[in-house]
Amino acid sequence: MQTLRLPQKSEFDSIRIPLPSSKSESNRALVIDALTEGKNEISNLAEARDTQTMIRLLEKNPPVFDVLDAGTTMRFLTAYVTVTNQKKVMTGTARMCERPIGILVDALRSIGAEIHYLNKEGYPPLAIHGLPQQTSGKVKIRGDVSSQYISAMLMIAPVLPLGLEIELEGKVGSQTYIEMTLELMAQFGIEYTWKNNNIHVPHQSYQPTQFAVESDWSGASYWFSLLACADSGELFLEGLKENSLQGDSAIVDIMDLLGVKSTFKKGGVLLQKQEVKGLKKWDFTHCPDLAQTVAVTCAILGQNATFIGLESLRIKETDRIYALQQELAKFNAELREIEPEVFQVIPSVTMPNSVQIHTYEDHRMAMAFMPLLTKTEVIIEDPEVVNKSYPSFWKHCGIAGINSEIQETL
């Protein structure tokens, strides 16, 4: 097994981190581009494996689309392949085949698609036979499992002959990602209305557009956390905008409470240390990918914060609640469920001399625990797991003066 040793370090100079591009924006722009007649100019696409997988599948168009562990690639391409009336098998890693897709398949079937499950009902792998004819212009989709099903349906909606009216049912999670989808579609010339639970996208054409992908706010969160946990330093994060399409820009408000001041400047955002105001409670319903970063930060900073809105974490790259609980325990911290779906961070009081973090095939487990190096030596198992969203993460740690060392262990 490969591990990465991160020596303890808690003082940082004035450092500029280039940051990767957003995989969420990239994967939307790629699907829209594939649906557009005419030439778009899309720049700054993500180096993330999830995006590179989508580029490769769209370019090579093999009969089997193996998306590996990329949720957006699986969900967005399932809708894309269907609407473009292709015959295709959609599959992915063993974990991807445990991540539900039934809500999206039901939505596509309800407008006339022919899709079959090749193994377990409700889960990939799927055999798609296309959409011979759109039989309905209305669909109901529950919003509490994954917003990616809704984004997938929204992006194909303009090219459907009858357009699409989507009624969102129940609680809607990750709503910021639905907003990102619609705002991005609007930049490609699409008009829509969203009233209460109803989103209506009439039939229309995507317009050729120039679109530059912004840096990734989810990836930026680990640098906010590093500074929050450090004794001193100043970081400049490149390519972030104050008015972002990404809901994970909420990290600015969260970290304002955890001791990081953000100042937007030309070309990015400057992070400086300030006093810790304290984080009492946060709802992660609309920014689930920040939960691991903030849980680790609170555990390190001695913040007994209450977390809600973590339900979707159980069906991501791993069961992130279980994974966090296991790894926080290694430095005597906890994520305790005090009532159903209400969690409290119980911070660490004693820190071991070294902590080895298991990463559960989840990029965010590796990156979220990196800031622990401000308090002790950290050993990260399977460091390449970061490639899913942030392949240059360890290189950027090097820019920050963290002298990591790869180790081969049995």
214 vs 221: CA distance, rounded Å: 15
244 binds ligand S3P (CB under 6 A): no
Residue from 24, 78, 244, 262 binding ligand S3P (CB under 6 A): 24
Cβ of residue 315: shortest distance to ligand PEP, in angstroms?
9
> In the complex, which residues of this chain contact ligand PEP (CB under 6 A)?
70-72, 289, 316-317, 364, 389
Q: Does residue 22 contact residue 50 with C-beta atoms inside 8 Å?
A: no
Q: Does residue 77 contact residue 90 with C-beta atoms inside 8 Å?
A: yes
Phi-psi region of 341 (alpha: psi -120 to 50; beta: other; left: phi over 0): left
Closer to ligand S3P by CB, 33 or 303: give it: 33
215 binds ligand S3P (CB under 6 A): no
Cβ of residue 387: shortest distance to ligand S3P, in angstroms?
15
Closer to ligand PEP by CB, 364 or 396: give it: 364
* CA-to-CA separations, 80 to 35, 172, 254, in angstroms, rounded: 8, 23, 36
**Which of the residues 150 through 209 are near ligand S3P (CB under 6 A)?**
151, 173-174, 177
302 vs 345: CA distance, rounded Å: 9
Query: Could you tell me the strand order of the sheet in which 354-357 lies?
Result: 354-357, 377-381, 2-6, 405-408
Cβ of residue 377: shortest distance to ligand PEP, in angstroms?
26
Binding partner of 364, given ligand S3P, ligand PEP, none, CB within 5-8 angstroms per partner class: ligand PEP
List the helix and strand counts (H, then E) for the chain. Answer: 12, 22
146 binds ligand S3P (CB under 6 A): yes
Annotated active-site residue 289? The verdict is: yes
Binding partner of 225, given ligand PEP, ligand S3P, none, CB within 5-8 angstroms per partner class: none
DSSP characters for 12-41?
EEEEEE--PBPHHHHHHHHHHHHH-SS--E
Residue from 312, 318, 348, 359 binding ligand S3P (CB under 6 A): 312
72 binds ligand S3P (CB under 6 A): yes
Measured between its terminal Cα atoms, the distance across the chain in Å is 6
Contact string 282-311 vs ligand S3P (x = CB under 6 A): ------xx----------------------
Q: Does residue 347 contact residue 199 with C-beta atoms inside 8 Å?
A: no
Radius of gyration of the chain (CA): 21
Catalytic residue among 50, 69, 248, 289: 289
Catalytic positions: 289
Chain positions contacting ligand S3P, by CB under 6 A:
24, 72, 146-148, 151, 173-174, 177, 288-289, 312
